[in-house]
Amino acid sequence: MSGKRTNFKIMEQKDFIAYLDDKGVPHTKIFTTTVLGLSVTKVIPDHFRLGNRVFETKTGNQIDPSTELTGIKIEPKGTKSLTKKQLIRIIDERVQNMGTKGVYHPKRLKPKWNSLTDDSKKLELFEKYVTSKDSSIGFLKLIKVNLCHKTLEAVIIEHPTCVDYLKSKNVKSLCIDKFSKYDHGKQYLIEKGIEPSG
């Protein structure tokens, strides 16, 4: 085996996504435009050593990541809402992986979540956490070290259609308000194409 380095700069979108999937790296896709009006897809890997990449939506070719983007989110044609099962899986992955050595361990939330077998009860617990006016200890600890994407509230920001399965209709604005109180939170919202509140 040669120690040849992967050249991310020349990868097309499908190859970059395939690489992330192969390595098990979670990632977010944002569909937006450049300031010149070109439709692009920004891929944001959830990994400290992998930078964001921007691809032309139509061709999948990579463009210079320093190209100025409008940050306005565009829902691609045919975007489907999450199913309830997909949402439960996303929340489950978040609960199982939000523990961060030396920062936070969800010692109350994780056992409570793991003990539930009914999907409706799981969604109730999730909603209780994200709609609480007071930020949880986990949220505060993770946001302090700029790990906004590991919070439960980030599920609402990254998967806005999930609110279809929740009782509270202002859950997204509650989460935006929580993030907006902190510098790292504001930056996270801006990266996701959302204007911080206040």
Q: What is the pLDDT of residues 50-94, one digit of tens each?
A: 889 999 988 999 998 888 887 777 655 545 567 889 899 999 999
User: Which pLDDT belongs to residue 3?
Assistant: 54
Measuring CA to CA, how many Å separate 137 from each of 96, 115, 140, 151? 16, 21, 5, 11
Query: What whole-number distance in Å separates Cα of residue 184 and Cα of residue 148?
Result: 7
Lowest mean pLDDT among 32-41, 76-85, 114-123, 176-185: 76-85
pLDDT digit string (tens) for 24-59?
888 888 888 887 778 888 998 988 888 899 999 889
pTM for the model: 0.61
